[in-house]
Structure 1
Amino acid sequence: MLASVGSVFVDLLEEYRRATFFFESGDPLGASKLLEPIIEAEPHNTAVRQLLARAYFNSAQLKRAESQLRALIEHDPSDHYAHHVLGRTLERDGRFREALPHLRLAAAMKQHADYEDAVHRVEEWLGKP
């Protein structure tokens, strides 16, 4: 029994490594296909969920990215990166009013040029100073 559990863990870890390679090699769709069964087996694994959200975002599967990011934020409301990527996802989907609070929250939690640039960009879209 323990051997099979161990081999399942090794298989999931190996698939995660493959997915990371696919993602970093510019194949987010391929990465997402590898990550989906992992997140089913490990639904509380935030590293897998974050990479899956990024893979969905990079392959323009915005609704799926949004779902993964909202799950991350529900698990940890102080996750500035999840708020930022959710804001970017909503921005990319043309949902600027929904994006702005997440982008502002991320920028308030962590000073980062990308975070501030995203806030300014969406504020401009909305005609805010």
Structure 2
Amino acid sequence: MPETSGSHGRTPETHVIDFRAAEQLLAARDPQGAVKLLDRVIEAHPENTAARLLRARAFFAAARLRSAELEFSLVLEREPDNAYAHFALARTYQRQGRANPAQRHFRLAAALDPKPEYLEAARFDR
């Protein structure tokens, strides 16, 4: 009998499949479907930062901005040097009309990874 991770008899392999399917659902513009799959993965593996980052992206795409903010913040607690998470959190703040924290995280993203889109959003020249 295969060992399960405690999430309704699901195996670690099933969670990998769910994660990959969630990526595809998000790409196909079904963020709610992605969140449902990722909820199961995170229930079984709460330490999985990649799953949390993907769920944060799905929350953002579904305009569940408070949930996205909380999830991106948790990712940054674990990985403070994650430039993408800073950028995505900044975009979340921006959509909420919270310019000051957005600007702070845009600048952190650009400082960590000087990608053109991060530098442009950081507006260091202003």
Indicate conservation of the 8 Å contact 1:88/1:118, yes or no: no
1:65 alignment partner in structure 2? 68
2:42 aligned counterpart, secondary structure: helix
Q: Deviations over 1:66-90 (max 9, x none)?
A: 1111111101111111111111100
State the one-letter code of the partner of 1:27.
D
2:104 alignment partner in structure 1? 101
Higher helix proportion (structure 1 or 2): 1
2:108 aligned counterpart, secondary structure: helix
CA apart distance, 1:34: 1.2
| Pairing 1:25-64 to 2, within 5 Å after superposition | 25-64=28-67
| Pairing 1:74-89 to 2, within 5 Å after superposition | 74-89=77-92
CA apart distance, 1:46: 1.2
TM-score under structure 1 length normalisation: 0.86
State the one-letter code of the partner of 2:78.
H
Q: 4+ residue stretches of structure 1 with deviation over 6 A?
A: none
| Pairing 1:106-121 to 2, within 5 Å after superposition | 106-120=109-123
TM-score under structure 2 length normalisation: 0.88
**RMSD (CA atoms):** 1.8
State the one-letter code of the partner of 1:56.
F
- In the aligned structure 2, how far is the partner of 1:39 from the partner of 1:67? 14
User: Any unmatched runs of 5+ in structure 1?
Assistant: none
- In the aligned structure 2, how far is the partner of 1:34 from the partner of 1:18? 8
Q: Which moved more, 1:25-34 or 1:54-63?
A: 25-34
Pair 1:13 & 2:16 matched: yes
CA apart distance, 1:39: 1.1
